[in-house]
Amino acid sequence: MNIFVLLIVGFAAGFLADKLIKNTYGLFGDMLIGIVGSFVGTWIFGQFGIGGGGIIEQILYALVGAVVLLVAINFFKRKK
């Protein structure tokens, strides 16, 4: 996946996850969470033998990963 597609997928997933979880990390933060979430989501789906696909599947994987990442961030922020 080239860098431009990675940024678009990351931004879309981060934006959608931000709206679902109701966090505000700004444009850059959403994009970063979406990009990291794409790796997390791809790993999670890979554990179940699900993978590949086009751009829609990649956004879905990244969205799931970003939501998991945001839930984990919120969990550890509340523990402090």
Q: Which helix (H) or strand (E) holds 9?
A: helix 3-21
pTM listed for this prediction: 0.80
Torsion of CA 2, 8, 14, 17, to 10 degrees: -110
Q: Which residue bears the tokens 């979406």?
A: 34
CB atoms within 10 A of CB 15: 17
pLDDT of residue 40: 86
Q: What is the pLDDT of residues 8-61, one digit of tens each?
A: 888 888 888 888 887 767 778 887 888 888 888 888 888 988 877 788 888 888
Domain parsing of the chain, residue ranges: 3-79
